[in-house]
Structure 1
Amino acid sequence: MSESQISVYLVDDHPLVLEGVKTLLHPEADICVVGQANSGPEALAQLPAHPEVQVAIIDMNMPLMSGVELTRMLRTHYPQIRVLVLSMDDEYTQIREVLDAGGMGYLLKNTTREELSTAIRTIAAGRTFFSQEIGNTLLQHSAAVGTTPVNLTAREHEILRLIAREYSNNLIAETLFISERTVETHRKNILVKTNSKSVVGLIQYALRHKLIP
């Protein structure tokens, strides 16, 4: 494996799925599967030997430990690993559990090689990724929750729009000619005002109330 490759670890209790994912990713020169496990406990036992792992692709429904439980464990003990969940289910409650546990992506198991590899690259870069079906589920649920939008300051509106464009704190600071610490403070205030637990939730809120185009 070269330093430029994204190292991926797979966790699924179905060997056929593991082989299928590896086969899908094999043609991708910048992605390398460095390990796999059939359960959450097995993954946690093996990961100390794989400090290079950047992205973990996890099955949602597994015996011994669910995908949500494993995601929580990884976010606690291996915060450098970004989690992408694979599932047969696009139910909102389940998607929300994954996001609250710290997952950065959610795909259905009917995904294509192009979508899977794009998701891995996106998550490895620190951004979230959802298949179109999952994105639609999130937006539909957001639209069904009608609340009065909070009052954001002009500066908070500016920062919110840049967050929606996936700008980093550093890039926002450079764009608005303010310090990165000031950006972080505004970001926290926006999350508190909108009662959002994550950037994903914040974007949902902003779309629902037409705060961003």
Structure 2
Amino acid sequence: MKILLVDDHALFREGLRYVLQQLPEDVEVLEAGNFHDGLKLAEQYPELDLALLDLNMPGSEGPISIKFFHQRYPHIPVVVVSGEDGRGVMETVMNYGAMGFVCKNSTAPVMLGALKLVLSGGVYIPPQILQQHSVAEPKPRDGDRVDRRSLRTNEYGLTARQMEVLKHLAAGLSNKEIAQAVYLAEGTVKIHVAAIYQLLRVNSRMEAVRAAEQLGLIGSSSHG
């Protein structure tokens, strides 16, 4: 297995290289200290299984560089490993084609779990971002009556929006089609799908639909 690691901090690359050696397969790590050298290596090794890219490093212009990399090498799954943890940046990066976003303050087991998920075809989003996303609606001020509808999740922790995405997912729509149907960015749909997987404890669309049917969340009794 070949993995490209692009980060301008040699010490961080060394630590991540150690983590990568714990993956189940033998890993060859190709390293670059800036975005341009990373592009050259991707050109040189089209058989790469994964690219780990920092957002802020020489030659990179942040999320737009991730978009450029993805458009140039769409066959190489990209995971952003960044010190940034803002939801806006993360959503933009996912919308630009990244398959995962791992915060640099994550532990080694979290990093390994994220990489295994992406290598198996999944999408990884940090749990703190998923939590932020679920409670992004305004919270009541002291003394205000709580509007339960705005904060409500069902007994499985799914929000109304996630249920909407789940129903479209069960109908066989792609992330892009779901995004058009519910008027959201494709990156935001990816986040909802990842949240659904996490809450239903599944790893694929098929498993998600099966679990939702078993729980009575969708199926013949479901309307609209």
TM-score (norm 1): 0.69
1:65-117 per-position Cα deviation (integer Å, ceiling 9, x unaligned) = 13423311221111111111112221122112211211111111122222212
Distance 1:117 1:72, change over 3 A: same
1:137 maps to 132
Alignment length (residue pairs): 178
CA–CA distance in structure 2, aligned partners of residues 123 and 76 of structure 1: 18
Provide the C-alpha distance between the structure 2 equivalents of 1:112 and 1:101, rounded to a whole number of angstroms.
25
Amino acid at match of 1:134: I
CA contact (8 A) 1:86 1:109 kept: yes
Contact 1:60/1:86 (<8 A) preserved: yes
Retained in 1: the 8 A contact 2:51–2:79?
A: yes
Query: What code does the residue aligned with 1:194 have?
Result: V
How do 1:183-198 residues align onto structure 2 when only pairs under 5 Å count?
183-184=172-173, 189-198=177-186
Distance 2:10 2:18 in 1: 12
What do you get for the CA RMSD once the two structures are aligned?
A: 3.3
Q: Which runs of 5+ in 1 are unaligned?
A: 163-171, 173-182
User: Gaps (5+ residues) in structure 2?
Assistant: 140-149, 151-159, 197-211, 218-224
Task: State the partner residue of 1:89.
Answer: 84
Query: What are the Cα deviations for residues 176-196 of structure 1, in whole angstroms up to 9, with x where unaligned?
Result: xxxxxxx35x76553312013
Question: Which residue does the alignment assign to 1:126?
Answer: 121
CA–CA distance in 1 between the matches of 2:16 and 2:175?
36
CA gap of 1:22–1:204, structure 2 versus 1, over 3 A, is same
CA distance in 2, matches of 1:62, 1:53: 21
Q: Does structure 2 conserve the Cα–Cα contact (< 8 Å) formed by 1:194 and 1:202?
A: no
Are 1:62 and 2:50 counterparts? no
Counterpart CA distance in 1 for 2:166 and 2:101 is: 28
Distance 1:187 1:17, change over 3 A: closer
Displacement of 1:200: 4.6
Q: 2:156 matched to which residue of 1?
A: none
1:44 to 39, 48, 65: 39
Partner letter of residue 196 of structure 1?
L
Aligned partner of residue 106 in structure 2, secondary structure: coil
2:146 is aligned to none
Identity of aligned residues (%): 24
* Structure 2 CA distance for aligned equivalents of residues 159 and 32 of structure 1: 37
Aligned to 2:95: 100
1:135 is displaced (CA, Å) by 2.2
Q: In structure 2, how many angstroms separate the alpha carbons of the residues matched to 1:27 and 1:48?
A: 26
What secondary structure sits across from 1:111 in the alignment?
Answer: coil
8 Å Cα contact 2:17/2:29 also seen in 1: no
Return the alpha-carbon distance in structure 2 between the equivalents of residues 131 and 57 of structure 1.
Answer: 15
Query: Could you say which residue in structure 1 is the equivalent of 2:29?
Result: 34
Report deviation, 1:204: 3.1
Using the TM superposition, name which of 92-101 and 131-140 deviates more.
Answer: 131-140
Amino acid at match of 2:57: M
Task: Work out whether residues 53 and 81 of structure 2, in 8 Å CA contact, stay in contact via their aligned partners in 1.
Answer: yes
Letter in 1 for 2:77: R
